[in-house]
């Protein structure tokens, strides 16, 4: 139900508008004759007020100010018998939603304006509901774990939520660093602001600066329009830089300046843009060791480190593994509309004995495949297939060229290392440009 006040000193005209709006079943319309009467009824907190500019006891500008002073969320529409552009502009600048000149079309224009306001309010409620759902999805309850190692993590996370200090999340690939970052955001005071994430290792170095800071039209070949970067898109929310250790030293210095000055410039511009978001970073590498090796700036290290959160690997989380396995069984059944599969005792034992080098991400893949392979809904050890990425069974040794073998090996490691090009290049002792070239040609994929 949308509550509407019509403030109109002409009783006939006011009744005409009231009757017209009441044709909409979910509009509750109240007619008032003076500005004073409107102010006295504000305790009802209407959604919309349509008011005549020339009321007998006060003018529209004064009434508008007094309404918005008490209830800034009320949408105010001003109607007037005079088409005065300067007055209209002034009222809109004061906060009026619309300015309508009284004529034979006014009632239809008023209807349309109120419909637009109603749709905007519905959209706002929908966004608020979605954010509430995200808050529930990424509550600390969604970070599953009862082990002592995870209880230490929860203790640190509660401190992260109570402050606005930078947070650096470390842990092996697949331990759930982004899930934890989202939990920090959606449990904190910025939960209604954007959460913007970027995996810095998944973007070529020559494009990363533009992705982070944006660019102006004409800043470089192909820049056909202004682009807003992730720093700007984060607004007053949270910016999450995943795999921050993979940034080259030149870009690290630009990141450091943006964090120190709390402002940055889009590529191709000298106009500073204020950075207001909270920073969360993550990496699977030892930042301290990289600093000692000269591969990561020491000053940036101290700037971003803030509160460190170290996620334990799955092999150190004991019975948490079975909690997570059951969670993924529920998820698979829900997403695929099937009956939930059950883990038999022997299957549980096999899971607990596996080291899970791919951590939680690997466990999910194993459970999903087991649900597909199980014919009875009762998962047995034979349904649990563990990847052997470092062994010969990972590659199909058919009649293939060396180039095809290389492509499959690189694709395997891109998957294992969460699309982290730098880590794969280091692991396989190949140049990053080689991998980027294969990505560009479509031989391998970051998806």
Task: Dump pLDDT digits (tens) for 403-433.
Answer: 777 788 888 888 777 788 888 888 787 888 8
Using CA atoms, how far residue 198 sits from 42, 193, 230, in Å, is 46, 16, 8
Helix H or strand E segment including 52: strand 48-52
Alpha helices in 142-239, H assignment, sequence order: 148-162, 177-186, 205-213, 230-233
pLDDT class for 394, splitting at 50, 70, 90?
very low
The Cα–Cα gap between 418 and 438 comes to 17
More confident residue, 400 or 62: 62
Nearest by Cα to 286 from 271, 256, 308, 260: 308
Cβ–Cβ contacts within 10 Å for residue 135, how many? 17
- Output the pLDDT for position 142: 59
SS3 of 32, please? strand
Nearest by Cα to 35 from 61, 13, 15: 61
Q: Is the pLDDT of residue 139 over 80?
A: no
For 117-129, the DSSP string reads HHHHHHHHHHHHH
Domains of the chain and CATH, by start: 2-130 (3.40.50.2300), 138-310 (3.40.50.300), 314-383 (1.10.8.60), 399-441 (1.10.10)
- Output the pLDDT for position 141: 58
For 257-314, the DSSP string reads HHHHHTEEE-BT--SEEE--SEEEEEESS-HHHHHHTTSS-HHHHHHHHBEEEEPPPG
pLDDT class for 130, splitting at 50, 70, 90?
low
Contact (Cβ atoms closer than 8 angstroms) between residue 5 and residue 32? yes
- Structure token digits, residue 206: 């020559």
Helix H or strand E segment including 335: helix 320-336
- Output the pLDDT for position 36: 94
- Output the pLDDT for position 125: 72
Average pLDDT value for the chain: 88
SS3 content of the chain, % helix, strand, coil (to 5): 50, 15, 35
Beta bridge partners of 264: 273
Using CA atoms, how far residue 414 sits from 231, 388, 430, in Å, is 26, 15, 13
Listed in sequence order, the residues at least 6 apart from 148 whose beta carbon sits closer than 8 Å to its beta carbon are none
Q: CA-CA-CA-CA torsion for 111, 115, 116, 120, nearest 10 degrees? A: 150
- Output the pLDDT for position 437: 84
Q: Is the pLDDT of residue 213 over 90?
A: yes
Using CA atoms, how far residue 106 sits from 3, 15, 52, 151, in Å, is 19, 13, 12, 63
In sign, the C-alpha dihedral spanning 163, 164, 170, 175 is positive
Task: Dump pLDDT digits (tens) for 68-118.
Answer: 999 998 999 999 988 888 888 889 988 999 999 988 888 889 999 998 888
Q: Is the pLDDT of residue 249 over 80?
A: yes
Predicted model pTM: 0.61
Beta bridge partners of 197: 240
Q: CA-CA-CA-CA torsion for 86, 90, 91, 93, nearest 10 degrees? A: 140
For 77-97, the DSSP string reads EEEESS--HHHHHHHHHHT-S
Task: Dump pLDDT digits (tens) for 290-317.
Answer: 999 999 999 999 999 999 999 999 999 9
pLDDT over 90, % of the chain = 61
């Amino acid at each position: 139900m949308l509550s509407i006040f019509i403030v109109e000193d002409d009783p006939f005209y006011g009744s005409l508008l009231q009757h017209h709006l009441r044709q909409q079943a979910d509009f509750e319309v109240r007619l008032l004759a003076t500005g004073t009467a409107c102010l006295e009824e504000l305790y009802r907190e209407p959604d919309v007020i349509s008011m005549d500019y020339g009321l007998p006891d006060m003018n529209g500008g004064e009434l508008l100010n007094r309404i918005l002073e008490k209830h800034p969320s009320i949408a105010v529409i001003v109607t007037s018998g005079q088409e005065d552009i300067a007055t209209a502009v002034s009222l809109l600048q004061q906060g009026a939603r619309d300015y309508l000149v009284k004529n034979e079309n006014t009632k239809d224009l008023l209807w349309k304006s109120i419909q637009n306001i109603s749709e905007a309010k519905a959209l706002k409620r929908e966004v608020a509901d979605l954010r509430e759902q995200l808050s529930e999805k990424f509550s600390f309850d969604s970070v599953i774990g009862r082990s002592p190692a995870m209880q230490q993590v929860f203790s640190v996370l509660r401190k992260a939520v109570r402050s606005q200090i930078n947070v650096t999340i470390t842990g092996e690939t697949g331990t759930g660093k982004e899930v934890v970052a989202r939990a920090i955001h959606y449990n904190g005071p910025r939960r209604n602001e954007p959460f913007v994430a970027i995996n810095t290792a998944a973007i070529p170095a020559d494009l990363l600066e533009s992705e982070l800071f944006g660019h102006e039209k004409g800043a470089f070949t192909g820049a056909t329009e202004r682009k807003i970067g992730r720093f700007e898109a984060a607004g007053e929310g949270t910016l999450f830089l995943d795999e921050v250790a993979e940034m080259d030293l030149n870009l690290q210095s630009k990141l450091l300046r943006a964090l120190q000055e709390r402002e940055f410039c889009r590529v191709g511009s000298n106009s500073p843009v204020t950075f207001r978001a909270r920073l969360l970073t993550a990496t699977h590498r030892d930042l301290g060791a990289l600093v000692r090796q000269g591969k990561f700036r020491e000053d940036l290290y101290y700037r971003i480190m803030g509160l460190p959160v170290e996620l334990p690997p799955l092999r150190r989380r004991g019975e948490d593994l079975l909690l997570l396995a059951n969670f993924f069984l529920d998820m698979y059944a829900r997403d695929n509309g099937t009956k939930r599969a059950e883990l038999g005792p022997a299957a549980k034992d096999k899971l607990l004995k596996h080291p899970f080098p791919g951590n939680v991400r690997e466990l999910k893949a194993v459970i999903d495949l087991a649900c597909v392979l199980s014919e009875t809904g009762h998962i047995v050890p034979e349904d649990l297939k563990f990847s052997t990425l470092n062994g010969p069974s990972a590659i199909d040794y058919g009649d293939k060229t060396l180039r095809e073998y290389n492509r499959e090996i690189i694709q395997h490691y891109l998957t294992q290392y969460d699309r982290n090009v730098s880590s794969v290049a280091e692991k396989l002792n190949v140049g990053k440009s080689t991998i980027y070239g294969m990505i560009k040609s479509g031989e391998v994929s970051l998806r």
